[in-house]
């Protein structure tokens, strides 16, 4: 019998509000994977909630290397390494070292270059972190920026974000570093009333687009949901194009379901009752 694929999941844990590890773990587990978690930070709540002087941000930078040194002793091997929200600029170089140590011949390295959304960096992301994120993304086999992050990686203004397939294809090619890595850009609006993702698959050079009806309202954590489903599908052996289409469709389904419930947008999408859709 085949063992469950093993994923090194490197994200923060936000105690309140759905995002990052609180999404990555249940989604990848439901899809039949085993996750080893390396925490970048622990927050009382994700940063989209209004700022508060009671908020807790536990930066775990100096605990990361000791954690993976224990993993090395235990002989850990990973089918995928998947990073997201970072707690400090120093974590960028630390994670580059992690990738060098743990990448095997068949390891898929997915870097979600989490930095911001809607044209603005997240509250805890400094300009130095944004400027240096490209060096971590350069280690990846696949990156999954949203439009804000794609613009930051390319040094383009957010206002220049593509609105046509031809313009999106150009950004995908540029982000692929001449086809050296695969890219998925999320949050693309190429048809009125639709939203989705564009992908460039480095193994075939194919560029494709997946769209679904736009759900009014911006929910935090949908990028984490998208990338986790995408990775789960890739680990099942699906092509990037198929994985991308399934991730677009699942995120849309969760957003539409949540809108009906009329819950606070900042609480994110109600994916939990829909997880079983990912099991087949
Ligand atoms: O979804 C990205 C993300 C991850 N982690 C934390 C966040 C956010 C987005 O707001 O605040 C802590």
Q: Which pLDDT tens digit goes with each residue over 85-94?
A: 999 999 999 9
> Closest ligand 1 atom to the C-alpha of 43?
12
pLDDT in tens, 47-65: 999 999 999 999 999 999 9
**3-state class percentages of the chain: helix first, strand second, coil last, to nearest 5:** 40, 20, 35
C-alpha distance from residue 145 to each of 70, 76, 116, 124, 253 (Å):
31, 28, 9, 18, 21
Q: Rounded to the nearest whole angstrom, what is the distance from the C-alpha of residue 45 to the centroid of ligand 1?
A: 9
Residue that has been written with the tokens 């990846």 in this structure: 140
Per the structure block, which two tokens stand in for 218? 């911006």
Taking Cα atoms as reference points, which of 77, 74, 88 lies closest to residue 132?
88
Q: Rounded to the nearest whole angstrom, what is the distance from the C-alpha of residue 46 to the centroid of ligand 1?
A: 5
In the chain, which stretches have pLDDT less than 70? none
> Is the CB of 116 inside a 6 Å radius of any atom of ligand 1?
no
Strands 108-111 and 194-200: unpaired
Report pLDDT for 1: 84
């Amino acid at each position: 019998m085949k063992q469950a694929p093993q994923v090194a999941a490197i994200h923060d844990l936000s105690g309140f509000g759905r995002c990052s590890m609180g999404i990555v773990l249940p989604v990848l587990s439901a899809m039949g994977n085993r996750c080893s978690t390396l925490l970048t930070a622990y927050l009382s709540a994700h940063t989209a909630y209004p700022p508060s002087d009671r908020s807790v941000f536990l930066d775990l930078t100096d605990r990361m290397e000791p954690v993976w040194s224990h993993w090395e002793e235990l002989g850990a091997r990973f089918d995928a390494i998947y990073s997201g929200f970072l707690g400090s600029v120093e974590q960028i170089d630390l994670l580059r070292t992690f990738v060098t140590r743990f990448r095997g011949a068949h390891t898929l390295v997915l870097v979600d270059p989490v930095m911001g959304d809607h044209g603005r960096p997240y509250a805890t992301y400094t300009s130095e972190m944004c400027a240096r994120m490209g060096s971590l993304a350069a280690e990846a086999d696949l990156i999954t920026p949203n439009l804000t992050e794609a613009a930051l990686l390319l040094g383009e203004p957010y206002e220049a974000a593509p609105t046509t397939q031809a313009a999106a294809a150009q950004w995908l090619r540029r982000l692929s570093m001449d086809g050296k890595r695969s890219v998925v850009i999320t949050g693309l609006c190429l048809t009125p009333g639709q939203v989705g993702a564009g992908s460039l698959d480095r193994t075939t050079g194919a560029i494709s687009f997946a769209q679904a009806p736009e759900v009014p309202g911006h929910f935090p954590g949908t990028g984490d949901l998208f990338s986790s489903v995408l990775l789960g599908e890739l680990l099942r052996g699906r092509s990037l194009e198929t994985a991308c289409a399934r991730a677009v469709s699942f995120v849309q389904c969760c957003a539409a379901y949540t809108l009906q419930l009329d819950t606070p947008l900042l609480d994110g999408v109600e994916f939990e009752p829909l997880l079983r859709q990912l099991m087949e």
